[in-house]
Amino acid sequence: MVSTSHGSPAKSLTAITVIPQFPQNPKTLILHKCKTSRDLNQVHAHLIKTRLLLNPSISENLLESAALILPNAMDYALSIFRNLEQPDALAYNIIIRSLTFKQSPLNALALFIEMVGNSALPDEFTFSSVLKACSRLRALREGEQVHAYIVKCGFKANGFVLNTLIHMYASCGELEVARQVFDDLPERNVMSWNSMMAGYVKNERWGEVVELFQRLLELDIGFDEVTLISVLTACGRVANLELGEWIGEYVRANGLKGNIAMVTTLVDMYAKCGRVDKARRIFDRMDRRDVVSWSAMISGYSQANRCREAIDLFHDMQKANVDPNEVTMVSVLYCCGVLGALDTGKWVDFYIKKKKMKLTVTLGTALIDFYAKCGCMDDSVEVFDRMPSVNVFSWTALIQGLASNGQGKRALEYFNLMQEKNIKPNDVTFIAVFSACRHAGLVNEARNLFASMSKDFGIEPRIEHYGSMVDILGRAGLIEEAYQFVRNMRIQPNAVVWRTLLASCRAMKNVEMGEEALQQIIRLETPHSGDYILLSNIYASAGRREDALRVRNQMRENRIKKVASGCSVIQLDGVIYEFFAENMVCPHSEEVYNATHDMMKQIEAAGYVPNTADGRLDAEEDDMQQTSVSHHSEKLAIAFGLIRTRPGTTLRISKNLRVCTDCHNATKMISKVFNREIIVRDWNRFHHFKEGSCSCNDYW
């Protein structure tokens, strides 16, 4: 509304339609008025009619409008460009720039060559665009030619061009050359430093990023938010908490908290430095969070193996209506796998299908691994089959999944298939393959594979491979061969290898070798309570009660702590429930203990006898707390599952320790008495309990 200067009541004004006075000032006019390609057509027609198109500044403006303002108008812009009689550098610039960013950097490069051929002189903007095109294409050879041309055209001191040159070399992985350009810069501004740092970031040379920033501070050049984001990212990767905190403080003191990317990087830095709770506090205080912020926090929890919290936060993210991206989903799937949270992971799979997201190798492999860890091998294979492309990691995840689900033979079939497809296995693949041999008791295959590892595939066995071999031999009862194998290892056996041998000694009741194994473990590292318990068990099973007691007293005197306390997880209707041994705090105490009591009574009536003698000496045994075997965490979880689900529903439990003998017997009985399938994943394999027996055939 317009008011007059006299302060008199405003007259009612009739609306005047402004008729666009076409080319009074076509320059601003075209850029502002053209919102659709129809507008552009009209302007274009008008310019032709009035012959104004012959004026280069006007035609270039039309070009710019077409190329930059309108989406998908690149072809239109190109057709205008092609009709220009003698396009000058400006016109070339517009098209080269648009091609670089919009359609095809390759065409941008071609046009640049044409431009040089037509002796239109490139300016700094041309060089900057064409270098960016080279970066995008990782076209080092072409980039070098442009570099030479820059020198020839006298731009070798142009900071703007040289910064893009640094970026180009860094994108092509030529960091040393990039650094040379940087070091030779006549004048370095923040932009130059940022370009160099971004190059190091892109090539994951985190140490150099930090180093460069420290030099920047020494020289007192100043920095901006782009610098800080690079440095914070690096701090997270090299766990430089001190510098990270310094930047955090700077961000706080300088009121940069509104920069969502900056604060997200701060969250990421704290999480990667192991300060997950601090990261969470910053995350909670953010005014706005985008998918990157949520992902940073979720993967922070997942990397810290705080999977429960990762999933809870993911549910919050869903409530906040933020769509997850690939990074979020990979973290979430990992956590679902660890927890056995089938519902949540399935939701992710469903979401990928619903949104028709591309099943990338990373995402697909995460899904394979997740389903395998939940004991759903059919789904795992189905994902593998529907992936448009797979790599060695996908094959390995599948082979490992089959192996730990007791399908050792099938795992080896896939291993053979993988070689037929000319995918070269890596060292992790062999761990999966040995795991298959172990679970299926395939000793000969394992021996042959171990020999062919270095011979045919050029992979030197690592300590893990040796350990697997010892395990395979030990489990097959070939304890002497296992011992000789350890003695003849090409690298020093570590405590894990001796521990594996110790475990085999237990099964074979071999006292002498067990004693030596424990001696070796003590020599190499601080022993676990499990080591003493194993030796004590060996004595007990050989009828040497006195020695068994002596070892246990020794353990108590030396105050050997348990590695971890037993924890079992069950997911029901999307909610994750955790159970600990009875002494731990449990939100469902009353209900859970009653259910467990009833469950145990029923299986006892069916003939189950608690095996306290062996169970007392096993995984969840705890001397101080005297946890009774009937309250081992998986029993609590199973009892809870029984009362909270419909009859016949399969129960899926995951557990952080090895299943003890007593729980194994009890679960077999439960599967029969309650007519349930129960799938328990312990720390290294699956037990599919059904109709009173287990898929592991009591060998685990």
Rounded Cα–Cα distance for residues 55 and 59 (Å): 6
Sequential DSSP letters for 114-149: HHHHTTPPP-HHHHHHHHHHHHHHT-HHHHHHHHHH
- Nearer to Zn ion (CB atom), residue 271 or residue 629: 629
- Nearer to Zn ion (CB atom), residue 329 or residue 567: 567
| H helices present in 491-632, as ranges | 495-508, 511-524, 529-541, 545-557, 589-605, 612-615
In degrees and rounded to multiples of 5, residue 272 shows phi and psi of -70, -25
β-pair type (651-655, 693-694) = unpaired
- Nearer to Zn ion (CB atom), residue 297 or residue 663: 663
Least Å distance, CB 661 to Zn ion, is 8
- Nearer to Zn ion (CB atom), residue 293 or residue 568: 568
- Nearer to Zn ion (CB atom), residue 287 or residue 699: 699
Least Å distance, CB 696 to Zn ion, is 3
If residue 681 lies in a helix (H) or strand (E), which one and from where to where? strand 678-681
Q: What is the largest CA-CA distance in the chain?
A: 114
β-pair type (678-681, 651-655) = parallel
479, HSE (Cβ side, Cα atoms, 13 Å):
18
- Nearer to Zn ion (CB atom), residue 67 or residue 411: 411
Least Å distance, CB 659 to Zn ion, is 6
- Nearer to Zn ion (CB atom), residue 206 or residue 700: 700
Cross-sheet strand order for the sheet of 651-655 = 575-580, 567-572, 651-655, 678-681, 686-690, 693-694
Encoding tokens for residue 425? 């296995």
Encoding tokens for residue 272? 């990667």
Least Å distance, CB 539 to Zn ion, is 21
- Nearer to Zn ion (CB atom), residue 170 or residue 660: 660
- Nearer to Zn ion (CB atom), residue 268 or residue 682: 682
Encoding tokens for residue 235? 């701090």
- Nearer to Zn ion (CB atom), residue 348 or residue 581: 581
Least Å distance, CB 143 to Zn ion, is 60
Tokens 């759903």 belong to residue: 376
Encoding tokens for residue 694? 């287990």
Distances (CA, A) of 429 to 207, 447, 460, 577, 691: 31, 16, 13, 33, 34
- Nearer to Zn ion (CB atom), residue 272 or residue 672: 672
Distances (CA, A) of 8 to 5, 11, 337: 8, 8, 76
Least Å distance, CB 672 to Zn ion, is 14
Binding site for Zn ion (CB under 5 A): 632, 660, 663, 687, 694, 696
- Nearer to Zn ion (CB atom), residue 294 or residue 689: 689
Least Å distance, CB 413 to Zn ion, is 23
Least Å distance, CB 377 to Zn ion, is 16
Least Å distance, CB 371 to Zn ion, is 20
Rounded to 5°, the CA angle 646-652-657 comes to 145
Compute how many other C-beta atoms are within 10 angstroms of the C-beta atom of residue 41.
12
Least Å distance, CB 443 to Zn ion, is 20
| H helices present in 220-274, as ranges | 225-237, 241-253, 260-272
Is the distance from CB of 368 to CB of 334 less than 8 angstroms?
A: no
Encoding tokens for residue 380? 């795992």
For residue 90, what are the contacts with CB-CB under 8 A and spacing of at least 6?
A: 56, 60
Nearest to 371 by CA among 381, 386, 356: 381
Least Å distance, CB 369 to Zn ion, is 22
Is the distance from CB of 504 to CB of 533 less than 8 angstroms?
A: no
Least Å distance, CB 196 to Zn ion, is 57
